[in-house]
Amino acid sequence: MPATHSRIAPQRKLVQWLATLFLLAIPFVQIGGNSLLRLDAPSRTLLFLGAQIRIEEFYLFLLVALVGSFGFLFVTMLFGRVWCGWFCPQTTITDLAEWLDRKVRSAVGRGLSGKLLRHLGYLVLSFTVAANLVWYFIPPAAFWHRLTAGSIGPVAGIFLTATLILVYLDLTWVRGAFCKSICPYGRIQHMTMDRNTLTLEFDRERTADCIACGACARICPMGIDIKDGLQIECINCGRCVDACRDVMGKMGKEGLIRYSFGAGGQGTPFNARVIASGALVVLLSGILVAGVATRKEATVKVQRSAGGEVKTLPDGSVVNFYTAYLENRGTKGASFTLAVAPQNGVTPLLVGPVRDVSVEANGNRRVDFAIKLAPAPSGPLELKLQLLRDGKPVGSAALPVLAR
């Protein structure tokens, strides 16, 4: 068979398998002892590519969201609904359900046993999807241990059960109808597409070669006819391409349906809009990487103690009381020390548990301490509280001092 009659389905299935395995594998991959990607709800921390991004670092969350949003916009303007037809989990599980239906019906028929076997397969597939989603919040090993021990917890248990039920109902009743009439992303994609976007196109110049067999329309999971032109329901899966190539190939001709950038392939895929959006994605990605790379490994925040008044001692020195909050953003536990450097002839003395303060990985620690100043300053003074790790400063905070 000529190369022009090669099928698209094997390539699409390969992409779907790779994307599915990638989503399943992410929770198992670790960098520096942390998940490649996981949202740790108890500590309100996003584990991302080995970094721990706390909710306080909202700007990094915002950058992640912007990179994802503009990345989808870039892909859509260039390749249309290729996400829907080639990468989307909804399309993948629908294809898996259809494959399961064919295998079961060919093996045991359409009777009761076949129906029970198909629904058992739907349940297994639904549980796999639900468990995979939970793994992005609970590490897989901890998930299985808690599940078998009956201690999964109410929130995770409800989320797991609800997702399982929704996916099962999806596989049983909805499937492609979701993409055709419910999915909002398809509508958003349609609004971002233009005459240069990659779409499926029926070759109008060869209309006379069409034998009106209807294979392209029958095979379409969205129930549309590509000969009617571009339609919002089309997910760029390419099934109609294969169907037409199979029919026309038997006649020694090329298929009448193809992927095309614009009408007749005359579009300009890398136009100003696409280049601008791509450059924006690269820029935002660079800012995100720089932000993660330069973020501080630890921080310290300090405030005056609520009930701690300034005290003057008999020797003329002054004591101020504070509360410090230490945050260890590292992937390992660490020991910190608080220190204050002399200023304007005033020698500060820290009193309290300020040395070798242990803070667990991605943890916080409260430290109550006092500062004795001798001699007493003549007026308000602002010192600099330093957070040291192995003798090196890793964080600092302004320390206002009041004189009696």
Residues 280 and 359 in one domain: no
Of 243, 258, 286, which one is at a domain's C-terminal end?
286
pLDDT value, residue 140: 92
Query: Which pLDDT does position 38 carry in this prediction?
Result: 87
Residues 336 and 209 in one domain: no
Q: What is the pLDDT of residues 357-378, one digit of tens each?
A: 998 877 788 999 988 887 777 7
Q: What are the angstrom distances between the C-alpha of 137 and each of 32, 261, 310, 327, 331?
A: 18, 40, 46, 22, 17
pLDDT band (50, 70, 90) for residue 184:
confident
With 60 as the cut, is the pLDDT of residue 296 above it? Answer: yes
The 10 Å Cβ neighbour count of residue 271 is 17
One domain for residues 36 and 152: yes
Reported as a single tens digit per residue, the pLDDT across 87-119 is 999 999 999 999 999 999 988 888 889 899 999
Q: What does the alpha-carbon distance between residue 172 and residue 66 come to, in Å, rounded to a whole number?
A: 35
Six-digit token string for 85: 């037809």
Compute the average pLDDT of residues 74-78: 87
**How far apart (Å, rounded) are the C-alpha atoms in residues 364 and 42?**
13
Do 227 and 98 belong together in one domain? yes
Q: Does residue 51 surpass a pLDDT of 80?
A: no
Pairing of strands 311-312, 318-328: antiparallel
**Structure tokens, 270:** 């890398």
| Residue 217, domain extent | 3-286
Residue with tokens 């002399």: 342
Q: What is the mean pLDDT of the chain?
A: 86
pTM equals 0.73
Same domain flag for 272 and 387: no
Max mean pLDDT range (154-158, 177-181, 232-236): 154-158
Asked whether residue 29 falls in the same domain as residue 129, the answer is: yes
Domain count, the chain: 2
Between CA 16 and CA 12 the distance in angstroms is 6
Residue 3 confidence (pLDDT) above 50: no
Q: Which residues pair with 48 in a beta bridge?
A: 37, 51
Report the range of poorest mean pLDDT among 13-22, 72-81, 185-194.
185-194
- Residue 292 in any domain: the answer is no
Confidence tier at 5 by pLDDT (50, 70, 90):
low
Let me know whether 251 and 353 are in one domain.
no
Report the pLDDT value the prediction gives residue 292, as an integer from 0 to 100: 75
Spatial distance between the Cα atoms of 1 and 117, rounded to a whole number of angstroms: 38
What are the counts of helices (DSSP H) followed by strands (DSSP E) for the chain? 12, 16
The pLDDT of residue 308 is 67
- In this predicted model, which residue has the larger pLDDT, 252 or 377? 252
More confident residue, 320 or 5: 320
Supply the CATH number for residue 336's domain.
2.60.40.10
- What is the arithmetic mean of pLDDT over 300-308? 80
Pairing, β 381-389 against β 334-340:
antiparallel
Return the pLDDT at 164.
Answer: 96
Extract long-range pairs of 156-162: CB within 8 Å, 24+ residues apart. 159/130, 159/133, 159/134, 160/130, 160/131, 160/134, 161/130
What one-character-per-residue DSSP string does 3-36 give? GGG--SHHHHHHHHHHHHHHHHHGGG-EETTEES
Most confident of 126-130, 197-201, 259-263: 126-130
Domain end call among 286, 317, 341: 286
Predicted confidence band at 125 (pLDDT cuts at 50, 70, 90)?
Answer: very high
Question: Do 228 and 81 sit in the same domain of this protein?
Answer: yes
Distance CA 269, CA 275 (A): 9
Residue 233 has pLDDT above 90, yes or no: no
* 286, 306, 340 - which closes a domain: 286
pLDDT of 240 > 80? The answer is yes
